[in-house]
Every structure is written in structure tokens, then in C-alpha cells.
């Protein structure tokens, strides 16, 4: 499987379908992850790609039974990853997927040993997240305007994402019942369907209220076929369906360009900016962890490096003997 081409879900499914008994066991494991652990569609797709890659390697080396895999087989596979140009981060992600598979087989009594025991993840230096400045966020929030229904919707969505640091899937999947604007709260459903209440600031409440009471009503009224409209969805498209991740990516890029932001802007960059701006404003790490919906505080700690950088710059600018 070539390193410079990311296989699609269809490619991965086809690879597993042609991998015989190994493919069947992996498919069962993916079903277990979906049902028992409630992983998101995107996370499951990533697991499927990585395990299909592993199954392909096993097939090339004549391994037809996962219970027969030994440490030497895994080491051989791991050695191929840097040779294919995969970064340490990508190597680590693949090993996590394979380690989970073998642990599951051992736990279920389907394999005598777990051959991944003792294997260490490749070391990598975490990339610091790219951020938007306060000024860039302000320009981006103003970019959609309020003179069209699409502008009202996009302003509300931008305000929501910057106010809560939510993931794009959480934002476009939001239903009206999850909004509690009278209390200034939104109920977000994160990875593994874990729910958390996150407060909304006044600008976000106002933007969402405007969209729901004016823009969304007008957009639905213009639709010829109301029957197909997602009446529960907060953010709908011009056809009445739920706004998609891809549709929002496209809209966000256009708004960033209109705001004069030359760098690439993504929904995740808004999430990074939310977290960092909170820490720079004095928020504690545990609170930011809860707001972001991180299960492990280690995931949140990357933002302390960004915040430290801000503190160093502030020190250099203002301390008389810096």
C-alpha cells in the first residue's frame, strides 16, 4: 500500500475483504469498536485503513492467522513504515491500532499471547497547533455578514465554534434540543457519545438566536419540499438538509479569504485558538480539558507549550531586564 496515497474507506474495505480469515477477524474487531466503544465514524475509518495496511503486510508474508503472529512479525512490519516515508506520528497511530487488535484477541481468548507487549511507540515531537490571533478571529467572525440567511447561519456557526471550542462534527451534528440559549448553554456530544455542557457567551447566544428566529425560518420557507428538511438540525443547507462537514470547510475557507487571512484556516484551528486564548486569559488546564471534552489531560497539555510561548513573548516585551 503506497505511502503517498491515502486509501479510501472503499479501498480499505476491499483490502480486508481480500485478506481471508485475517480480514474477517479485523472486520469483527471494528464492529466491536463501533458497538462497545462508540468510536466516531472518522476514527473507525482511520482504524480500518491502518488495520487493512497491516493485513496486507501479513498476507504478503504468508500469515493467515492472527493468533500465529509473533513479535518478529510485528518488528518486520514496523521496520517497513519509516522506509515508506511515514512520519513518527503516523507510525505511532498504526501501532496503536494494531496493539488494540491484538490486546482484544488475547482478552477474548482468541490468541495465546499478545505479541505487541513490550513494543514501544516511536518517539515524536508534538507539533504545536497553529492558531488565529484575536484580530484574525474578529475579522473571521465578521466576514459572513448578517444581510443574508447564509450569512446569519455562518456567523452563528463561527460564534458557536469559537465560543465552545467544539469539533466540527459536534457543530454540524447539533440538534435544536441541545441548545439552551435561555441558560447560555449548549449540550455537546463528543467522541464515544460522551456529553458535556459548555457555556455560551453573549455574542454566540445572540448570533444563534438571530439564525434560529430569522435566517433558518426564512431558509426553510423558501424550500419547495419541506418534507426533506432536517427540522431537528440547527444548521441546514440551502436544500434543507443538515449542513455537512465538507460544505462547512468550503464556506470557512471562503470566509477566511474574505477576512484577509492568507494562511489556511480549518475548523480545528478555531478549536486550537479557543483553547489557547482561554489559557492566555488565565484559565486553568483542567477547565480547558473539560470544555474541550478531552478524556485525558495529557491531550490538553500541548496547549501549555503555546501558552508558555505567549508568556515568554509578553515577558520580553514588558520586563525591563528581559
Phi first, then psi: what are they for 249, rounded to 5°?
-55, -45
Q: What is Dmax (Cα atoms) for the chain?
A: 70
Is 268 catalytic? The answer is yes
Decide whether 9-107 matches 134-318 in CATH topology: no
Q: What superfamily in CATH does domain 134-318 come from?
A: Intergrase catalytic core (1.10.443.10)
From the list 49, 57, 271, 272, the catalytic residue is 271
Q: What is the pLDDT of residue 3?
A: 42
Q: Which of 153, 167, 216, 277 is catalytic?
A: 167
Among the listed residues 277, 300, 286, the one whose alpha carbon sits nearest the alpha carbon of residue 164: 277
| Cβ–Cβ under 8 Å, residues 245 and 172 | yes
Q: What are the pLDDT digits (tens) for 249-277? A: 999 999 999 999 998 999 999 999 999 99
pLDDT(128) > 70: no
Q: How many CB atoms lie within 10 A of CB 225?
A: 8
Is 294 catalytic? The answer is yes
Domain 9-107 annotated CATH 1.10.150 = yes
87 pLDDT exceeds 90?
Answer: no
φ, ψ (nearest 5 deg) of residue 97: -65, -45
pLDDT digits (tens, 9 = 90+) for 23-82: 889 999 999 998 888 777 888 999 999 999 999 999 888 888 999 898 888 888 888 888
Asked if 159 and 141 touch (Cβ cutoff 8 Å), the reply is yes
Pinpoint the alpha helices (H) of 167-215: 168-172, 202-210
What radius of gyration, in Å, describes the C-alpha atoms of the chain? 23
191 is catalytic: yes
Q: Determine whether 303 is an active site residue.
A: yes
SS3 at position 57: helix
pLDDT of residue 12: 61
Q: What is the mean pLDDT of residues 169-189?
A: 95
Catalytic residue chosen out of the listed positions 107, 176, 180, 268: 268
Catalytic residue among 89, 106, 253, 294: 294
Contact criterion met (CB below 8 Å) for 88 and 124 = yes
Q: Among residues 103, 191, 230, 310, which one is catalytic?
A: 191
Query: Does the pLDDT value for residue 1 go beyond 50?
Result: no
57 included as an active-site residue: no
Domain parsing of the chain, residue ranges: 9-107, 134-318
Task: Return phi, psi of residue 319, to 5°.
Answer: -80, 130
Check residue 60 and give its pLDDT: 87
Q: Of the listed 29, 47, 162, 303, which one is catalytic? A: 303
User: Above 60 in pLDDT, residue 17?
Assistant: no
The SS3 assignment for 244 reads coil
Give the C-alpha separation, 88 to 105, whole Å.
26
CA distances (Å), 222 to each of 217, 238, 242, 251, in order?
Answer: 9, 9, 16, 21
pLDDT in tens, 228-254: 555 789 999 988 889 999 999 999 999
Amino acid at each position: 500500500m503506497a505511502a503517498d496515497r491515502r486509501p479510501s474507506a472503499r479501498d480499505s474495505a476491499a483490502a480486508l475483504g481480500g485478506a481471508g480469515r485475517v480480514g474477517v477477524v479485523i472486520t469483527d474487531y471494528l464492529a466491536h469498536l463501533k458497538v462497545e466503544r462508540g468510536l466516531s465514524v472518522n476514527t473507525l475509518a482511520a482504524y480500518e485503513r491502518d488495520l487493512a495496511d497491516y493485513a496486507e503486510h501479513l498476507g504478503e508474508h504468508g500469515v493467515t492467522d492472527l493468533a500465529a503472529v509473533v513479535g518478529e512479525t510485528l518488528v518486520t512490519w514496523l521496520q517497513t513504515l519509516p522506509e515508506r516515508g511515514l512520519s513518527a506520528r503516523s507510525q505511532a497511530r498504526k501501532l496503536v491500532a494494531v496493539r488494540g487488535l491484538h490486546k482484544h484477541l488475547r482478552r477474548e481468548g482468541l490468541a495465546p499471547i499478545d505479541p505487541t507487549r513490550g513494543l514501544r511507540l516511536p518517539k515524536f515531537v508534538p507539533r504545536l497547533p497553529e492558531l488565529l490571533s484575536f484580530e484574525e478571529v474578529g475579522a473571521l467572525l465578521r466576514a459572513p455578514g448578517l444581510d443574508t440567511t447564509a450569512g446569519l447561519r455562518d456567523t452563528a456557526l463561527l460564534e458557536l465554534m469559537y465560543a465552545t471550542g467544539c469539533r466540527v462534527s459536534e457543530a454540524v451534528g447539533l440538534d435544536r434540543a441541545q441548545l439552551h440559549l435561555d441558560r447560555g448553554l449548549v449540550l455537546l456530544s463528543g467522541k464515544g457519545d460522551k456529553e458535556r455542557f459548555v457555556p455560551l457567551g453573549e455574542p454566540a447566544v445572540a448570533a444563534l438566536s438571530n439564525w434560529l428566529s430569522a435566517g433558518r425560518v426564512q431558509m426553510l420557507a423558501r424550500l419547495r419540499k419541506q418534507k426533506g428538511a432536517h427540522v431537528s438540525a440547527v444548521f441546514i443547507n440551502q436544500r434543507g438538509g443538515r449542513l455537512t462537514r465538507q460544505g462547512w470547510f468550503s464556506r470557512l475557507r471562503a470566509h477566511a479569504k474574505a477576512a484577509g487571512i492568507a494562511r489556511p484556516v480549518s475548523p480545528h484551528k478555531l478549536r486550537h485558538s479557543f483553547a489557547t486564548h482561554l489559557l492566555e486569559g488565565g484559565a486553568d488546564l483542567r477547565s480547558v480539558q473539560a470544555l474541550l471534552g478531552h478524556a485525558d489531560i495529557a491531550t490538553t497539555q500541548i496547549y501549555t507549550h503555546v501558552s508558555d510561548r505567549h508568556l515568554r513573548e509578553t515577558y520580553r516585551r514588558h520586563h525591563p531586564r528581559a
